[in-house]
Structure 1
Amino acid sequence: MGMWAYEPWDNDEAADWYGDLMDQTRLREAWLEGINQDPGDSPGVVRAAGALFVMLGRVYVWPITTFDEDLERAIAALSRVAECDEYKESPELIELVTKEIEELKSRRKNNSDNASPSIPASAKPWWKFW
């Protein structure tokens, strides 16, 4: 088994398993249906789809051929959710969605132009998203 880091997905076995899982379940296709909904009509669905990408949107887990595109799609969709009237009424919701967006932005390939995450990735357990 080739292991290149210590996260649960950073080895050949796991990467192959995630690839098979994505192919067999068509999870990405279902995710696209949610993330592409109109956040003005269904902000909860769009945010739920964004949260799924926060959890699974990682290299070696998410389909690599669409990872960068889907990362940007999730960031844009969550940004639109934050602009919804329903969410603007709640500073707590805006704060949470902003943290989700920041987490996703930290996963961009060239992250030097972005604000650094509040907690360095190396100091944060992989399952801590917020």
Structure 2
Amino acid sequence: MGAWDFSPWGNDDAAGWYSRFLRGCDFVMLKREFEEFSEKDESKYDKIRAACYMLQCIGNPYIIPKTEEIEVKDLIEQGIRILSNMIDPPDQNWTYLDMWGGDEEVRSSIGEQIKTLKIRLGEWG
């Protein structure tokens, strides 16, 4: 077994396991959430948060298969931008905080997502 890190993905056996497990995942659906996101459509906000969470969990270059038709690094960058705009709206089209009555807990939760996505982004080099 080749090991390069103490993380749960830091060895050849684990990386192979993730690859086999994720073969059945719908990465096109993940990509589509980013392509179809519109800040003017309130039904898209929670879906994009869910898609960003998936990137938080599996958006590591040792976990996500490199043969997929998505650019994971680009999606992570988009996710950071979208989530940042959700908690610091650049204009009146971004209504997510209004939906939550400006609740600080939702702002904090999204802030944690952004932090984790930035860590994932750094893993892509």
* Pairwise same-fold verdict (TM > 0.5): yes
Residue equivalent to 2:75: 70
The verdict on how the C-alpha distance between 1:87 and 1:63 changes in structure 2, with shifts beyond 3 A counting, is farther
**Structure 2: distance between partners of 1:85 and 1:59:** 33
Residue equivalent to 1:81: 86
Q: CA RMSD for the aligned pairs?
A: 2.3
Q: Percent identity?
A: 26
Residue equivalent to 2:114: 101
Residue equivalent to 2:54: 52
Does the 8 Å contact 1:35/1:77 carry over to 2? no
Gaps of 5+ in 1: 111-130
Larger mean CA deviation between 47-56 and 98-107 belongs to 98-107
**Structure 2: distance between partners of 1:31 and 1:74:** 11
Larger mean CA deviation between 74-83 and 92-101 belongs to 74-83
**Structure 2: distance between partners of 1:67 and 1:28:** 10
**Structure 1: distance between partners of 2:76 and 2:65:** 11
Higher relative contact order (CA 8 A, sep 6+): 2
Does the 8 Å contact 1:3/1:10 carry over to 2? yes
Q: Is 1:17 the counterpart of 2:32 in the alignment?
A: no
